[in-house]
Amino acid sequence: VQEILDEVRSQVSVVIPPAFNRFQHGFSHIFAGGYAAGYYSYKWAEVLSADAFSRFEDEGIFNRQTGESFLHEILEKGGSAEPMELFVNFR
């Protein structure tokens, strides 16, 4: 299990946890009760934030046009449109 988790992390993680991290050994609490759906939303937020950040990585962290696009397409719009629509427009 650890090898699979390490492989997936190497492909998708922005920050790789230290070698002593054994996340899979302490994760059972999400299956006890109604926490699983809430936890999924946290993981989905991580996916979206990593995807949004990859645009900055591709175009330059301090690229003015990228920053302005984030400002105009996401921050300024706030709750005026569906969040995924805003994200797709930015990305």
Q: What is the pLDDT of residues 31-80, one digit of tens each?
A: 776 777 778 888 889 999 999 999 999 999 999 999 999 999 999 999 99
CA distance 89 to 77: 11
- pTM score of the predicted model: 0.60
CA distance 86 to 70: 9
Which range of 9-13, 21-25, 53-57 scores highest in mean pLDDT? It is 53-57
Contacts of 41 (CB under 8 A, 6+ apart): none
